[in-house]
Chains A and B, each alone.
Chain A
Amino acid sequence: DTEVTQTPKHLVMGMTNKKSLKCEQHMGHRAMYWYKQKAKKPPELMFVYSYEKLSINESVPSRFSPECPNSSLLNLHLHALQPEDSALYLCASSPGTVKEPQHFGDGTRLSIL
Chain B
Amino acid sequence: GQQLNQSPQSMFIQEGEDVSMNCTSSSIFNTWLWYKQDPGEGPVLLIALYKAGELTSNGRLTAQFGITRKDSFLNISASIPSDVGIYFCAGRLSSGSARQLTFGSGTQLTVLP
Residues from chain A with a CB closer than 8 A to the CB of B40 are: 106, 109
Are B99 and A56 in contact, with the CB atoms below 8 A? yes
Contact with B along A23-50 (1 / 0, CB 8 A): 0000000010100000011110100101
Residues from chain B with a CB closer than 8 A to the CB of A6 are: 42
Contact with A along B27-53 (1 / 0, CB 8 A): 000010101000011111100101000
Q: Which of A33, A43, A103 contacts B103 (CB 8 A)?
A: A43
Are B99 and A101 in contact, with the CB atoms below 8 A? no
Interchain CA distance A50-B103 in the complex, whole Å = 20
Is there a chain B Cβ closer than 8 Å to A70's Cβ?
no
Residues from chain A with a CB closer than 8 A to the CB of B80 are: none
Interchain CA distance A109-B42 in the complex, whole Å = 11
Interchain CA distance A85-B45 in the complex, whole Å = 26
Is there a chain A Cβ closer than 8 Å to B86's Cβ?
yes
| Contact residues, A90-113 vs B (CB, 8 A) | 90, 92, 94, 98-99, 101-107, 109
Can you report 8 A-B residue pairs in the complex whose CB atoms are below 8 A from each other?
A2-B42, A42-B104, A48-B99, A99-B31, A101-B33, A102-B33, A104-B43, A105-B42
Chain A residues close to B by CB (< 8 Å): 2, 4, 6, 31, 33, 40-43, 45, 48, 50, 55-56, 90, 92, 94, 98-99, 101-107, 109
